[in-house]
Structure 1
Amino acid sequence: MTRITHHPSDALLLSHAAGRLPVGLALVVAVHVERCARCAAYVGALEAAGGALLDETPPAAMHALALDEAMARLDAPPAGAAQPPASQGPPPLPQGQAWPAALAGSRIAPWRWIGPGMRYSRVHLAGEDAVAVFLLRLAPGKYLPQHAHSGREFTQVLCGAFHDGRAQFHVGDFDAPGRGVQHLPVVQSAGECVCLTAVQGRLQFDSVYGRLLGQLAGLR
């Protein structure tokens, strides 16, 4: 089993445990936590500490009809509430690879060709409009053109490996390059690479080819 060497920061795991991340970014962190015993233990400890604090908080006084009013709101259908997208199973992975359980219930589009040896699949999440979530599947030696980010980009490696000039990332690794950081992810020659990525803001490609690729994938 490949050793996981790149993890979310403690501050990011705290934000995740507290429910402060946008849905799309939280999904990528959740997939990492699912596959990383160290981060799962840390998040579990944070959640346990938060639960203990809630148990120690004295209950607030409520007026006599508060419970009846709350139950009435729960029984009433929400006006104009958007329905969550219908669940659609993920596209096939390379033989022997399994999808993370955290993706269950997401609506995932079929693989779409964006270039020789390059495919992507959009992940649609209920309540997420500001973050683009997608799967990337690249053949050995393929690369994403050099780019920076106007917002946050989280990537979790599901299979295979890549390097981007800053570090090497293998199965289970998590990457969160900072805003303005430029990198050029290149898939290693041992096999194809599949990643789950969430992008908040825009990818800022340096080349015309990169911008065309971004348009094909809806990442302008």
Structure 2
Amino acid sequence: MRPPDIHHHPADELLLSLAAGALPTGIRLVTEIHLELCAACRERVAMLRAVGGALIEEETAAPMRDDALAQAFARIDAIEAAAGAVGTAVPRKVPAPPPLPTGAVWPRALADCSATRWRWIGPGMRWSKVSVPGAPQANVFLLRIGPGKYLPPHTHRGTELTQVIYGRFHDGRALFGPGDFDLADGEVHHQPVVQEGSECICVAAVDGRLHFDGFIARWFGSLVGM
């Protein structure tokens, strides 16, 4: 399959936080999905990790405590004991993801996650809630919107990350297609409109809430955690 032509990428600050392991779970997952599709950003993150490793090696060694070695062995024993307990546990069965149209691929970053069936939220509009193991607070979901349909106008009380995996939408600022990434915050007021010819499927993570202009839209948004 030919790689998508990607025009919108995460900012360097976000990629640096990803490389440092400092992103909240939902934001990390959506950013990792972008990396699956974008060779340029994968190379960027690899470079940032290499630079970080070099900086760590240049740091002056800190003096060790007298009991540092004993503590290290104790932690190793605890990890081995936990690994043995996990080995006897019944493997977690992940439900099949909701069906996608031909040409759309379920992201590898969500392989251990479960997602609900597609649920109706309006004419030509469906959504699926993604559950992340060990991170119930992560607000991650999929949106599947038909051609010519649109979300209500909204801004954000927090941060919204969106990764397109199929189709295209225009939100008044730019056109976003397969592989494109968008980060919107309280300074962005937009209305994503799916382009004619194909439905659009996106993975989104919201840290905070979307603030829709109308009362009914806000009510629907509260039902799906947007």
TM-score, scaled relative to structure 1: 0.88
Report the RMSD for the aligned CA atoms in angstroms.
2.2
Q: Which has the higher helix share?
A: 2
| 1:3-38 Cα deviation digits (max 9, x unpaired) | 110111111111111112111101111111121111
| Compared CA separation, residues 86 and 124, structure 1 to 2 (3 A) | farther
| Compared CA separation, residues 65 and 124, structure 1 to 2 (3 A) | same
Of the three residues 191, 199, 206, the one matched with 2:198 is: 191
Q: CA deviation at 1:183?
A: 0.8
Q: CA deviation at 1:177?
A: 1.7
Of the three residues 147, 160, 164, the one matched with 2:154 is: 147
Partner of 2:100: 93
How many residues are treated as equivalent by the alignment?
Answer: 214
Of the three residues 1, 13, 17, the one matched with 1:11 is: 13
Q: CA deviation at 1:121?
A: 1.0
Instruction: Give identity over the alignment, percent.
Output: 53
Distance 1:129 1:150 in 2: 20
Distance 2:144 2:31 in 1: 19
Partner of 2:218: 211
Distance 2:208 2:76 in 1: 35
Q: Residue 51 of structure 1 aligns to which amino acid in structure 2?
A: G
Q: CA deviation at 1:68?
A: 2.8
Q: Residue 99 of structure 1 aligns to which amino acid in structure 2?
A: W
Distance 1:134 1:163 in 2: 20
Q: CA deviation at 1:140?
A: 0.9
Q: Residue 31 of structure 2 aligns to which amino acid in structure 1?
A: V
| Compared CA separation, residues 175 and 196, structure 1 to 2 (3 A) | same
Distance 2:59 2:94 in 1: 38
Distance 1:58 1:215 in 2: 50
Is the CA contact 1:156–1:173 (under 8 Å) kept in the aligned structure 2? yes
Is the CA contact 2:113–2:131 (under 8 Å) kept in the aligned structure 1? yes
Distance 1:75 1:189 in 2: 59
Q: Provide structure 2 residue ranges, at least 5 long, that are not aligned to the other structure.
A: 83-91
Partner of 1:24: 26
Q: Provide structure 1 residue ranges, at least 5 long, that are not aligned to the other structure.
A: 79-84
Could you say what secondary structure the match of 1:201 adopts?
A: strand
Distance 1:86 1:68 in 2: 38
Of the three residues 40, 52, 57, the one matched with 1:50 is: 52
Is the CA contact 1:143–1:186 (under 8 Å) kept in the aligned structure 2? yes
Q: 115-124 or 60-69, which moves further after superposition? A: 60-69
Distance 2:96 2:63 in 1: 46
- Residue 113 of structure 1 pairs with residue 120 of structure 2: yes
- Residue 179 of structure 1 pairs with residue 179 of structure 2: no
